[in-house]
Amino acid sequence: MIKIAAIHNAYLPVPENANPAGYGYEELNAFKYVKANIQRALNNIETAGKNGADICCTHEDFVNSGVFGYHFTESPGLFYRLAEKTAGEVRHLFAAAAQKYNMLIAANNYEPEKNKLYNTSTLYGRDGLIIGQYRKVHLPPAERWGVTAGDDFPVFKTDIGHIGFMTCYDVYFPEHCRALALGGADIVIHQTQGWGWNGRDPGDGAGGAVGEAFMRVRACENNIYLVTSKVMQNNGKDGGRSVVVDNFGRILADSGTSAEKLIYAEFEPDFTGTDKYAYGSLYSGLPGLRPLFMLSRRPEAYGALTDDAPEILKRYPGMRIMDSPAEAASVIEGFGALPEEERQKYHW
């Protein structure tokens, strides 16, 4: 039996004096702000530890240093400085909590290395030592302005199973989760800010439904257990939730959309996906759906998946994603000049 905890909470509002574009701004206030978010996450982790969780997962960028990446025109380098000064503190505090409660911790925050920033998921062992780290591979447009992408899909052995990571935008790319499954992942931890499509439910329920479909399908198609820990945004109006989904696509724990909470799923894992009465099991002679899915693959037919110039891109000649500092500054300046009612129409 294993017990998984996932944190579903909102960021603290950024005080005006901590906002580089706000009145009375001082950089010290920005540091105080991110430290308050660290403490909130630590409080949840301690609660999970007291409740006997085997692992507790934060959502993406629980520190919320990333929000300052959008303000580099007013305070160049602030995003990097916040990440640099908090990374060590996070490691110290979380390692101590993991050891105190004999619990694994999956944390996501920005970490610097050699003048580059990475969106980093860190897995702490029960002894407080770092088992391994994953760096977000698929970066959405704005994140590309100040963050460097990772380039691999590590899987880490633990006493509750082999664990891999997806971060937010990664979930849009089915190759990501499949690579983890092929690498032996039993549990995939998905730490995110977004949910569904474009971060806001358009009003017809599609955003929330698409998000749930992503979680169920990624779990089922790869026969892995999926843990999604999501930041609560717009008072839950994006339709997003934190969930734990089993390897048949069934939701074991669900935060709902309307309140901050710490969710738990306690279950006896079956990583083989045993289903004696499935026709696939009967006709294949295999013990479960996991070996069936993996043995049914045809990798020799999947060349298009690794083609860096696939046929579809011929329809968009010369196009590229804007990611230079000058282009980013132009986007921010143009967005800031829009009327408030127009800015509110954008989906995050």
Per-residue pLDDT tens listing for the chain (348 residues): 999 999 999 999 999 998 888 888 888 999 999 999 999 999 999 999 999 999 999 999 999 999 888 776 677 789 999 999 999 999 999 999 999 999 999 999 999 999 999 999 999 999 999 999 999 999 998 898 889 999 999 999 999 999 999 999 999 999 999 999 999 999 999 999 988 765 555 556 677 788 899 999 999 999 999 999 999 876 666 678 999 999 999 999 999 988 999 999 999 999 998 887 777 777 888 888 899 999 999 999 999 999 999 999 999 998 988 887 788 778 878 887 888 888 877 765
Inside any domain, residue 348: no
16 found inside a domain: yes
Report yes or no on 39 lying in a domain: yes
Alpha-carbon gap, residue 19 to 39, rounded angstroms: 20
Q: Is 303 exposed, middle or buried (0-12, 13-18, 19+ CB in 10 A)?
A: exposed
Q: State the CATH number of the domain containing residue 300.
A: 3.60.110.10
In angstroms, the Cα distances linking 161 to 2, 291, 334 are: 10, 17, 48
Domain assignment present for residue 118? The answer is yes
Q: In the chain, how many domains are there?
A: 1
pTM summary value: 0.94
C-alpha 289/C-alpha 277 separation (Å) is 11
Residue 236's Cβ-count burial label (10 Å; 0-12, 13-18, 19+) is buried
pLDDT of amino acid 191: 98
pLDDT for res 283? 82
Residue 255 lies in a domain: yes
Parent domain of 204: 2-343
